[in-house]
Chains A and B, each alone.
Chain A
């Protein structure tokens, strides 16, 4: 979550896949990996959104963008779509992290043993 929050400060939004991968990497089951990636990104984005909506009147802008793309009064839908994207990217990141951990673990264990 902290990593996700940190990455909202960087204008390369694609990096948001990284926290999911990290969360997934340290889980032992795929289901939990997906859930932790999903929860991490979604919760941190929700917190970020609440802060922005209450301090910067960002909802007015989302509503204007919603009007442009869909129709009047659809700011909430934009918000929802963004959250779903976060949810998906978190979940996929988690899945990716888990799969990578399975593939990389033997190699990493070997490396750690060598170092020891």
Chain B
């Protein structure tokens, strides 16, 4: 062998292994991170993530009938101008995918039990739970029935949904190398979209808004307190409610409801406790329970008598969890051939609009809190059956295959009773089934049915008047909402809408507020309340405004059916009513101030009494620290301002006052804040002295408990702020708002930002001060804000607490959050503009879609 060949072999033996090592290290997943080469090497991964949409994009697409122009404004909001309506839906799907593909993918995966396929075994419990609820099954069933209805001519909707789906898939298939960062980080690719995926997102919203465990919590409270005491704290109606529909009287003199005749069983109690403890271990359900504390919304509308314009002004801000990107996507959709012209918000992955307006009418939502889920207890009858209405029955079974990353498929079988899935089976599969003994727990939920939500949305977007809108409302079933309405003719209305079950229960068994013993046949659903004719509603009321903030739907004059088992404590509703009731000549500018209002009606209800108690206890010379606290509280006007200390003192004191008063309920759910207000204001009027601390021999009074709470507050805040100067206990240091990324990745999240407000202000943001070492910042609140001016819809305003684009390197990832939302600002909707007169300063980019062979 020649010398130089020998040398070459030696060199090769050095370079080849080194090259192989580098190529291998960067080609295999390490520590849960996908191959770094795919992620970081130029031409791959992060380098292909497009920050912005192209300034000008031209697409020639076979299936288009005519031309479509999509103009994005300076906030990245797409304005879709199509010649033909079906092309408009294609462009809607394309734009949503272009901006929010990863979010859409995650939403459908949640419902379809496909999280563990990409994220691994840790998500298997969530996947099983979601599949067991039957949401995917009913999404599939609904697509089938809509297709049948389309083929027999009952509806004309499915082709529109299909064009929307085509638009999404066109984007997916043509941008496989330009995906959002999250795909590269997790290491998967988007599959094609389907109609079922869109329907799954409707179901997910139904879960978010209506699925709950309230009946089970209430049973625990009833077992603990006994009927009389339970009724005193948890009986309906809740105190100080101002009904949404003003036509059914007010609650001024109505006493709380009488006691219940439900028998308590320790076996049932133990079943429920075990079930609840285990449900809380499932990530998705734990998050849902936390979200439910934030769940709420505001909407109101004033007529021309109250407005400065002589026409209605409608406002809406829906309160949901905050995420990056936000839950809502704004869009403007115009089709020449049908006159379709609507602007509003939709959840990415769904066609049409959920809330918004067209050239005639506008609408917005708040959650009704209608009781649309019941929990049923069955005695088992061997392994294969159960007792229903004193008769043995066999379970039916549904089996799912769940793909788990790095593990292959896992089979999962759900048993069904006549009422629905056996939910403690889901827990049982985690090795805990023995705890349930011979009782199974089954849920019955209105979302386990066909749903026509998109039919309703289609009707809303096209409505030309109140009658059209009402007609569409009857299809808005599984997402029970208070739908506020205004139109260009000067009408205002509200219709708390939804599919509400009628139970075969005169109240003996709790009327749906408690779990039913289905083995005795209790709590059968015998029908649904007629949405248009039997649910409360209001149209052009004499008070000239309508407002809802998740409070009670109707006053005592509505006696037909039981509607709500849980609703908001009512502080936001009290403030909105206070502001609208007293005012006239209200402008859009005033509405901005109201939507951003941080005056706490709750603080106003409690703090004056606290000040009174401090003064009566200590006279004119209180101990110095309490005197300093008084100095902060006395001049306070109840604004939950981040720069003040009084909100911090009030909030922590309120927490302690609640905790000390309801010490009997440790470990279970406490009553609403308004109940504490009533107890405080009407001390001595109740069966029980709730203010007594049951762990001490002495009998504490209201004033003593209030002062004990104050002492504890001072100690707690002194430690937290490391200062005994109350003026330094600024609210903004603990009250912060945060916007976590969908995956929880900190580097893609926004915040925390110090902020005004609290959970009970119109502009809401709830924090938790339970743990001094781990303050939970606000993770939910207004998920959008919209103000519609019916005197000139071009003056209508909106904002979302993120940005339009889900790409973290886009200027539209968080521009609305940082430049508008956190400052209480809004952007215009450019509703009446067209491609020909779109303001040049607001124009950012355009997509021109042509049929193949087009210009």
Contacts of A95 in B (CB 8 A): 11, 14-15
Query: With the chains together, A10 CA to B47 CA distance in Å?
Result: 12
Q: Which of B15, B52, B810 is A99 in contact with, Cβ under 8 Å?
A: B15
Q: A26: shortest Cβ distance to chain B, in Å? A: 15
Q: A66: shortest Cβ distance to chain B, in Å? A: 8
Contacts of B56 in A (CB 8 A): none
User: In this assembly, does A39 line the interface, its C-beta being within 8 Å of a C-beta of chain B?
Assistant: no
Query: With the chains together, A72 CA to B11 CA distance in Å?
Result: 41
User: In this assembly, does A108 line the interface, its C-beta being within 8 Å of a C-beta of chain B?
Assistant: no
Contacts of B106 in A (CB 8 A): none
Is there contact, CB below 8 Å, between A88 and B22? yes
Q: Which of A52, A69, A92, A103 is B47 in contact with, Cβ under 8 Å?
A: A52
Is there contact, CB below 8 Å, between B40 and A82? yes
Contact string against B for A residues 79-100, beta-carbon threshold 8 Å, 1 for contact and 0 otherwise: 0011001101100110110111
Q: Which of B19, B38, B51 is A13 in contact with, Cβ under 8 Å?
A: B38
Contact size range, B: 35 or more
User: In this assembly, does A45 line the interface, its C-beta being within 8 Å of a C-beta of chain B?
Assistant: yes
Query: With the chains together, A60 CA to B809 CA distance in Å?
Result: 5
User: In this assembly, does A14 line the interface, its C-beta being within 8 Å of a C-beta of chain B?
Assistant: yes
Overall SS of chain B's interface: helix
Residues of B364-409 contacting chain A, CB below 8 A: none
Contacts of B9 in A (CB 8 A): 99, 103
Is there contact, CB below 8 Å, between B12 and A92? no
User: In this assembly, does B155 line the interface, its C-beta being within 8 Å of a C-beta of chain A?
Assistant: no
Q: A40: shortest Cβ distance to chain B, in Å? A: 13
CB nearest neighbor in A for B18: A92
Q: B263: shortest Cβ distance to chain A, in Å? A: 55
Is there contact, CB below 8 Å, between A58 and B47? yes
Question: Assuming the A-B contacts A64-B181, A64-B808, A99-B8, are A11 and B51 also in contact, with contact meaning beta carbons closer than 8 angstroms in the complex?
Answer: no
Residues of B6-24 contacting chain A, CB below 8 A: 7-9, 11-12, 14-16, 18-19, 22-23
User: In this assembly, does A30 line the interface, its C-beta being within 8 Å of a C-beta of chain B?
Assistant: yes
Is there contact, CB below 8 Å, between A62 and B46? yes
Query: With the chains together, A93 CA to B38 CA distance in Å?
Result: 19
Q: A73: shortest Cβ distance to chain B, in Å? A: 10
Is there contact, CB below 8 Å, between A96 and B16? yes
Is there contact, CB below 8 Å, between A17 and B49? no
Q: A60: shortest Cβ distance to chain B, in Å? A: 4
Is there contact, CB below 8 Å, between A102 and B5? yes
Query: With the chains together, A10 CA to B37 CA distance in Å?
Result: 13
User: In this assembly, does B746 line the interface, its C-beta being within 8 Å of a C-beta of chain A?
Assistant: yes
User: In this assembly, does B582 line the interface, its C-beta being within 8 Å of a C-beta of chain A?
Assistant: no
Query: With the chains together, A113 CA to B4 CA distance in Å?
Result: 22
Is there contact, CB below 8 Å, between B12 and A65? no
Which of A72, A81, A92, A103 has the largest number of chain B CB atoms within 10 A? Answer: A92
A-B contact pairs, 20 of them (CB 8 A): A9-B43, A49-B47, A52-B42, A56-B49, A56-B52, A56-B809, A58-B49, A60-B51, A64-B747, A64-B809, A65-B39, A67-B746, A67-B747, A85-B22, A85-B40, A89-B23, A92-B22, A95-B14, A99-B8, A103-B5
Given contacts A65-B185, A66-B747, 5 further A-B contacts (CB under 8 A): A58-B49, A60-B808, A68-B747, A69-B33, A89-B23
